[in-house]
Amino acid sequence: MKKTVEVSIAIAEAVKNCEPDVVACYPITPSTHIAETLAKFYADGELKSFIATESEFASISAICGASAAGGRAFSATSSQGLALMHEVVYAAAGMRLPIVMVVGNRALSAPLNIWCDQQDSVAERDSGWIQLYCESAQEGVDTAIQAFKIAESTMLPVMVCVDGFYLTHTVEQVEVPTLEEVRKFLPKFQPKVKLDPENPISMGEYATPEYYQGFREDVHRDHLAAKSRIVEVDKEFEQMFGRSHGGLAQGYRIEDADYVFAGMGSVIGNAKEVVDELRAKGKKVGVLKIRSLRPFPGEEVRKLLEGKKHVAIFEKSYSLGSFAPVYAEVINSLYPLRKRPVVSSFIGGLGGKDVPTKTVHEIFKMIKKREPLEIWI
C-alpha cells in the first residue's frame, strides 16, 4: 500500500522490516531522521537494538562487530560522519563484512555546509564498498532492502546513496514492503564465517607483503563478479514487487538519441523531465542513469553511449586538481571505442547550489557543438 511519508521515515521502516540484529547510528544532517525513526521503533519494542553511539567512528565500528559476530547490521550517516568513518570503511570491506549503510549525501567541510552533493560517498569509492546511487524516493526504499541481499550474497558492504534533502527530506507517496513481504524476498542472514566459539576463526589479521595484495585483488575480483548479482537482485525484486531500478546503469529514451545527459542520483529525475520536454519538440536526446558507481559498469556504459554525438555529465562532486569523478569513469569506459562521443562535464549543485531545469535546457544548447566542455555552473 502506498503512503505519503517523508522518505527518511520510509527508509527506516524498510530497514526495520529487514529485521537487523544491530542498528548503530549517530546524528548528522541530513541522515538524522533515519536514525531518529529507528530509535523510535526501538523505544516501541519493534527493533531488536538501537545503539546511540558517541561518534560515527563508533557507529560503524559497532556494526562491524555486530556483523563479525554473525548479525545483520545497519547504520546511516552523511558527510563529516562518513569522513570520520573512513578508516573503518576500508577495514569493513577488507574484512568482508556485509553491512549496509545509507548515506544521505551532503557536502564536506570546509566551509561547513549541510546541503546536498555527493562528495562524501564519492570520496569513499576506492574502499571496496558497493555504492548504489538512488534516483527517487521509492528507489531509496527499495535499494535499502536490495542492499542486504546483495551484501550478504557477495560478502561486500553496501552503501545506499540518497541525495540529502532532495530525497531524504521530501514527503512523497512511496510503497514500503511489509515485514512479511521482505521475509519472502530476503533470506535470513546465515554467514558462512563468523566469530563462533564452536568454530573459531581469526578475522582482521595482519598480512605481510606476500599476502596483502592478494586480499585486495580478491575484493576487486568479487566486485566484478558482484555486477551480475546487483542486476539479478534488482530483477528478483521486480518479480516480487513489480518495481526495478535499473540494475547497474540504465538508459532512458536513449536508443535513437544523439545527445545524452548522464549522472547519478536525484538529478536523473530532473534530466528525464527535461528530456521529455525536448523530445516533445523533436530533439533526439536521452538520459544515462549510473546507479552503481562501484562496481563501475564500464561495458554497459560503453554499449549505451556508443554512436552518440555528445554526452553531458552532471557532477555533484569533484576530484580537486584533476577531473570530475563520473566524467573520468565515463571517459575511461569509452576509451576502447574507435569513434567516441564528445563528453562534457557540468559541475553543479555542490553544497546544494540550485540547478534549475532552465540551466539544463541551456546545457542542451551548449552541447550542440562538438567541443568538450568543463563548466562549473
Partner 1 sequence: MEEYFASGHTACAGCGMPITVRHALNVLGKDVIVVNATSCLEIVSSAYPRSAWGVPYIHSLFENSGAIATGAVASLRAQGNEHTKVVVFAGDGSTYDIGFGVLSGMLERNDDVLYICYDNEAYMNTGNQRSGSTPFGAATTTSPAGKVKHGKMQWKKPIAEIIAAHQIPYVATASIGYMADFESKVRKAKDMKGARFILVLAPCVTGWNYDSAKTIEIAKLAVDTGLWMLYEIEDGKFKVSYKPQQFKPVADYLKMQARFKHLSEEQIKTIQEHMNKAWAEVKQ
Ligand X SMILES: Cc1ncc(C[n+]2csc(CCOP(=O)(O)OP(=O)(O)O)c2C)c(N)n1
How far the first Cα of the chain sits from its last, in Å, is 40
CA–CA dist 58, 56 (Å, integer): 5
Cα(231)–Cα(303) distance, rounded to whole angstroms?
A: 16
CA distance 115 to 56: 19
Record the cell numbers describing residue 115, joined without a space: 546541503
Residue 12, classed as helix, strand or coil, is: helix
DSSP H stretches of helix in 298-356: 298-305, 325-334
Q: Is 43 in the site for partner 1 (CB under 8 A)?
A: yes
Which residue in the set 12, 15, 25, 99 belongs to the binding site for partner 1 (CB under 8 A)? 25
Q: Which does 357 bind (CB under 5 to 8 A by kind): ligand X, partner 1, none?
A: none
Residue 170: CB minimum distance to partner 1, A: 18
Residues within the interface to ligand X (CB under 6 A): 27-28, 56, 80-81, 84
Of residues 110 and 320, the one with the C-beta less far from partner 1: 110
Give the nearest distance from C-beta 83 to partner 1 in angstroms. Answer: 9
User: In the complex with partner 1, which residue's Cβ is closer, 25 or 355?
Assistant: 25
CA distances from 344 to 14, 116, 279, 373 (A): 37, 22, 21, 5
- Binding partner at 35 among ligand X, partner 1, none, C-beta below 5 to 8 Å by kind: partner 1
DSSP bridge partners of 262: 288, 313
Q: Which stretch binds partner 1 (CB under 8 A): 36-44, 205-213, 271-279, 289-297?
A: 36-44
Stretch of 104-112, 169-177, 198-206, 318-326 contacting partner 1, by CB under 8 A: 104-112
CB-based contact 41:15 (threshold 8 Å): no
| 294 strand-pairing partners | 131
**What's the Rg (C-alpha) of the chain?**
20
35 lies in the binding site for partner 1 (CB under 8 A): yes
- Residue 39 site contact among partner 1, ligand X, none (CB < 5 to 8 Å, cut-off depends on kind): partner 1
User: In terms of CB distance, is 27 or 372 closer to ligand X?
Assistant: 27
| Residue, CB closest to ligand X | 80
Residue 45 or 200: the one with the smaller Cβ distance to partner 1 is 45
Q: CB of 99 within 8 A of CB of 85?
A: no
Cβ closer to ligand X: 18 or 64?
Answer: 64
**Which residues are within 8 A (CB) of 256 and not within 5 positions of it... i.e. 6 or more apart?**
284
353 binds partner 1 (CB under 8 A): no
Rounded to the nearest whole angstrom, what is the least distance from the CB of residue 107 to ligand X in the complex? Answer: 12
**Residue tagged 545527445 (cell numbers):** 259
| Nearest Cα residue to 245 out of 99, 121, 117, 136 | 136
- Given 19, 52, 181, 272, the residue binding partner 1 (CB under 8 A): 52
87 binds partner 1 (CB under 8 A): no
Please report, as ranges, the residues that interact with partner 1 according to CB under 8 A. 25-29, 32, 35-36, 39-40, 42-45, 50, 52, 54-55, 80, 84, 109-112
